[in-house]
Amino acid sequence: MTEKQPASRIRRSPEQVRTAVHQAVIDLLSDPEGEGLTIPAIAGRAGVNHTSVYRRWGSLEALLADTVTTRLERDSPLDDTGSLRGDLISWAEGSVASMGTPEGRALVRAVVLSMPNSAQAQDERGLHFRRRMRSIEQIRERAEARGEEAPPVEQILDQLIAPFYIRAIFGIDVPTTGYPELLVDRLLGGVRGPDPA
């Protein structure tokens, strides 16, 4: 394979390159008539050598996981609202809104789409979830520092994260209002027991 010249020769910081590569992934995903989603196509669109992309991310799977996770982290910041319930609702609202856009849906599906059934791919698919879970860990730690009881991470995965991911992946509509609150209240209701009347 011949090495393509970068489309842009302006010197960019590693962070600028990362942003350009992420944007190229998103552009290619959003363009159904576009080239296939391959590292050479992504590198060409971002104006970087594809060898740099391989060196930095290692595989298309890892690059996709990094792109989708970075986008979701940007859209669901870890606000300290003063309570576990508020923090989880804020985080889930950002995630649900981000995954509700055509771009967000395409990104989430791309994480699944890109993965063959190999063990290595499974690890890289896991990357996305491990990073999402770190956000959840931070929210839990903040709650515990406040003296609040927090459900285990696995329960947050099952009761808060799984419902809106599965809806994004399968194209099932999310209830228009109050969905993050509904999921969080079910999650916390199951841990705290009923509120005193």
Q: Which residues of the shown chain bind a copy of itself in the complex (CB under 8 A)? A: 32, 102, 105-106, 109, 111-113, 115-118, 122, 125-126, 128-129, 154, 157-159, 161-163, 165-167, 169-172, 175, 183, 186, 189-190, 193-194
Q: How far is the CB of 149 from a copy of itself (least distance, A)?
A: 16
**Shorter beta-carbon distance to a copy of itself: residue 56 or 129:** 129
Q: How far is the CB of 6 from a copy of itself (least distance, A)?
A: 29
Q: How far is the CB of 12 from a copy of itself (least distance, A)?
A: 30
**Shorter beta-carbon distance to a copy of itself: residue 140 or 167:** 167
**Shorter beta-carbon distance to a copy of itself: residue 84 or 183:** 183
**Shorter beta-carbon distance to a copy of itself: residue 32 or 147:** 32
Q: How far is the CB of 190 from a copy of itself (least distance, A)?
A: 5
**Shorter beta-carbon distance to a copy of itself: residue 48 or 92:** 92
Q: How far is the CB of 154 from a copy of itself (least distance, A)?
A: 8
105 Cβ neighbours under 8 A, 6+ residues apart: 99, 168, 171
